[in-house]
Amino acid sequence: MKTTDKIRKQLEENPIVLYMKGTPSEPRCGFSAKAASALQSTGIEFAYVDVLAAPLIMQALPEVSDFPTFPQLFINGEVIGGSDIVEAMLASGELLPMLQSAAA
């Protein structure tokens, strides 16, 4: 299976996915820590992929998402953005309804 196909399969199988450096409990960069913390604050479950442990995914994901940096949040297969966007959407109230809808 090609790496891009693996990514698409992950996005199909998980309505909310955070591609990050490290894990939510042990993030390995400040931006990933912020995005994971914002998601965790909602209480809604999400999948994650540690791109440091999956270098082929780290290399191929920007090709799939057309988004160059990490972390990357996807909801229902659509890229939402990185930590700044996630935090801004959480603060504005936009993020929670999107997460709730995806998780339902």
- Cα-Cα end-to-end distance for the chain: 30
Annotated binding site for [2Fe-2S] cluster: 29
- In 3D space, the residue among 58, 77, 78, 56 whose CA is nearest the CA of residue 69 turns out to be 58
What is the C-alpha separation between 87 and 9, in angstroms, rounded?
Answer: 26
